Amino acid sequence: MEEEIMTPQDENIIIDMKGIYKRFYIGQPNELEILRGIDLRVKKGEFLSIVGASGSGKSTLMNIIGALDRATEGDYVLDGVQMRDVPDSQLSSIRNRKIGFVFQTFNLIPRTSALSNVELPMLYAGMSGGERARRAKELLELVEMGDRMKHMPSELSGGQKQRVAIARAMANDPAIILADEPTGALDSATGRLVMDLFHRLHREQGKTIVLITHNPELAAETEHIVTISDGRIVSRQQGGEVRAAV
């Protein structure tokens, strides 16, 4: 394949993937090809969902988008940065600055308060203590958890934990929020509140949001829906069912 120097054609494109393959080696001579030529372009400020059966490669793709893992083959330019040129030692700092993660199982640090959980990414980014506490409080208020700042994760309900996790994802004001089945462990009413919060972050803060979900109704609310099957994108649809402002 001919080498192509990637320069961002359009600075409005924040996620630019071309021909992404991911193979896992499971002992010679076997390898599993999990992603098979993914082309994905996401504009700044877009709200996109990725749907597909269990095992189709959604989380593997999300890990690459979020710089938690690297593609085996293909080009990925994240917010103007050619990821192939980024040494392993710098991956975590790019991730911490550019991406906010939200997971199905919340992944809060158990024995520390909601406030400390939200401060953590800012600590890694080198922000001073006073500034961290101020911003963490502001974010917890934004997700309507201002009255639970001192609570430990074990003292919070699932929906409350997820709101803390979303506040934490916003800590370093990342351009992109990546949410992998964020409502998967929640009942539908609580999941609804979490979705409403994503809509607000999209609308009011201009966040680019990539949502992985099993729920077609939730996907239909987003602007674009990408369906993955067996490591390939098999359909791209417009979504954006109009939702009343909440």
Q: Which residues bind ligand ADP (CB under 6 A)?
A: 24, 26, 32, 34, 52, 54-60
Burial of 121 (0-12, 13-18, 19+ CB in 10 A): buried
Identity at 195, one-letter amino acid code? M
Question: 110: which residues sit within 8 A by CB, 6+ positions away?
Answer: 152, 153, 154
Helix, strand or coil, per DSSP, at residue 149: coil
By a kind-dependent CB cut-off of 5 to 8 A, residue 201 interacts, out of ligand ADP, Mg ion, none, with none
Assess contact for 78 and 67: CB atoms under 8 A: yes
Residue 59 interacts with Mg ion (CB under 5 A)?
yes
Q: In the complex with ligand ADP, which residue's Cβ is closer, 33 or 39?
A: 33
Least distance (Å) between residue 229 CB and Mg ion = 14
What's the token pair of residue 195?
């979705």
Residue 117 interacts with Mg ion (CB under 5 A)?
no
Assess contact for 164 and 137: CB atoms under 8 A: no
Least distance (Å) between residue 182 CB and ligand ADP = 13
Backbone angles phi, psi at 49, to 5 degrees: -120, 150
Helix, strand or coil, per DSSP, at residue 17: strand
Q: In the complex with Mg ion, which residue's Cβ is closer, 57 or 143?
A: 57
DSSP secondary structure letters along 45-94: T-EEEEE--TTSSHHHHHHHHTTSS--SEEEEEETTEEGGGS-HHHHHHH
Least distance (Å) between residue 31 CB and Mg ion = 20
Cα torsion through 58, 156, 120, 101, rounded to 10: 10
Q: In the complex with ligand ADP, which residue's Cβ is closer, 26 or 244?
A: 26
By a kind-dependent CB cut-off of 5 to 8 A, residue 206 interacts, out of Mg ion, ligand ADP, none, with none
Least distance (Å) between residue 20 CB and ligand ADP = 13
Q: In the complex with ligand ADP, which residue's Cβ is closer, 26 or 245?
A: 26
Binding mask 11-50 for Mg ion (x = CB under 5 A): ----------------------------------------
Least distance (Å) between residue 25 CB and ligand ADP = 8
By a kind-dependent CB cut-off of 5 to 8 A, residue 57 interacts, out of Mg ion, ligand ADP, none, with ligand ADP
Least distance (Å) between residue 212 CB and ligand ADP = 7
User: Where on the chain is the footprint of Mg ion (CB under 5 A)?
Assistant: 58-59
